[in-house]
Amino acid sequence: MDQYPTIDYRLLVDNMSTAILLVDKDLNIFYLNSSCEALFDVSLTRALGQPVINILHAPNDSFDTHEALLNTLHKGQAYTRREAIINVNFKDIHVDYTVSQLSTGKSYHPLLLIELNSTDRMLKIAKEENSIQQHQVARQLIRGVAHEIKNPLGGIRGATQLLARSLNDPQYSEFTDVIISEVDRLRTLADTMLGSRQLPSYEPVNVHEPLERVRSLIVNQTKKKIKITRDYDLSLPEVKADRDQLIQVILNISVNAIQAMTENKDFFVDHQPELILRTRIQRLVTINGVLNKSAVRIDIQDNGPGVPEEILESVFYPLVTGRAKGTGLGLSIAQNIMHQHNGMIECQSVPGKTVFSLYLPWESNHVAK
């Protein structure tokens, strides 16, 4: 059998995505593989000798972890727990885990083998895929409706102009003017709903360029009433992107932040409105189900009242708006552009701190959707 290499089992265990823990007869940790080190964010040397119960048993858990572990150790009865919450370094992690007995031969006590899979990451991936699909369906629906609205508008406008001319009476022109201006308003709205028709053109972009463009636009608009702070990591690599579309994304999100701050003056009794533009490198980020080693992250943060709780989950969907005069299209268009760039936008919001984070992978195959 010379066609297969000899497998170094230690290497194999360290390359597995399942986290593995070995526990001795006193229920202390004596081995963890690389995945487990990554999951717990601790090194083998720090974890060595620690009682495993400290990790596996959350304080308010009614399950008797200690008893179950002993039972497996002595009787060999394996067990699995799903969606368990374990506590590592004061952080709650959701995992599925299986405990089984590892027999090591007659002269040694049996050990426990614990295999853990993080469900947080799985949940996040499933949730993202779901939301991308829903988002695409919604976008298509919106485009369809926009087409239907737009089609007759040209006819209505033309007919109204003819009517105005043939009536030739200032008494009626007031009415025909209303029709024409409302038709124009609808046409602008339908164009926004349809989104950009131009195909994106990708080129290497230093993300600070579009950020600075948007910043100068905002500075003029807000007339220094809002403090704008820059926190840039200038060592960021260039990304492949459509410069104009990136400006549109950053602008849509920044304008929302400015609106949230200027339209809620009561919120700022003891502090000044502030917009923070931040750039960072983000390691290990899952975008659209693909795990990227690193990506460029742009945060657009404000200290306003936050996204209303009732729309937080659906804020990227078209037509979802918390403002009386809003269209609910800004974030949907922005998310769509980011998907075309194989990137994504995430939002975290509590009163006083709202962060929209844009993630752009460095190198990717751009699929125009």
Ligand X SMILES: Nc1ncnc2c1ncn2[C@@H]1O[C@H](COP(=O)(O)OP(=O)(O)O)[C@@H](O)[C@H]1O
Rule CB under 5 A: which residues touch Mg ion? Answer: 256, 330
How far apart are CB 308 and ligand X at their closest, in Å? Answer: 6
218 binds ligand X per the rule CB under 6 A = no
How far apart are CB 119 and ligand X at their closest, in Å? Answer: 29
CA distance 221 to 258: 10
Q: How far lies 12's CA from each of 38, 137, 368, in Å? A: 16, 42, 38
**Taking CB under 6 A as the rule, which mask of x and - marks residues 339-368 in contact with ligand X?**
---------------x--------------
- Helix, strand counts (H, E) of the chain: 11, 12
Residue 146: closest CA among 193, 198, 185, 195: 193
- Residue 28 is inside which H or E element, if any? none
Structure tokens at 14: 């360290």
One of 87, 98, 286, 327 touching ligand X (CB under 6 A): 327
**CB-wise, 213 or 240, nearer to Mg ion?**
213
**CB-wise, 52 or 257, nearer to Mg ion?**
257
Q: Three-state SS for 61? A: coil
**CB-wise, 318 or 330, nearer to Mg ion?**
330
CA distance 170 to 165: 10
315 binds ligand X per the rule CB under 6 A = yes
By a kind-dependent CB cut-off of 5 to 8 A, residue 322 interacts, out of ligand X, Mg ion, none, with: ligand X
CA distance 311 to 35: 36
By a kind-dependent CB cut-off of 5 to 8 A, residue 308 interacts, out of Mg ion, ligand X, none, with: ligand X
With CB under 6 A as the contact rule, which of the stretches 193-201, 265-273, 299-307, 336-344 interacts with ligand X? 299-307
306 binds ligand X per the rule CB under 6 A = yes
CA distance 74 to 95: 24
CA distance 189 to 318: 13
How far apart are CB 102 and ligand X at their closest, in Å? Answer: 52
With CB under 6 A as the contact rule, which of the stretches 4-12, 28-36, 140-148, 252-260 interacts with ligand X? 252-260
How far apart are CB 320 and ligand X at their closest, in Å? Answer: 6
CA distance 287 to 295: 9
> Residue count at the site for ligand X (CB under 6 A)?
22
CA distance 61 to 213: 52
In DSSP terms, which residues pair with 117 in a beta bridge?
96
**Residues at the contact surface with ligand X, assessed by CB under 6 A:** 252, 256-257, 260, 302, 304, 306-308, 315, 320-323, 326-332, 354
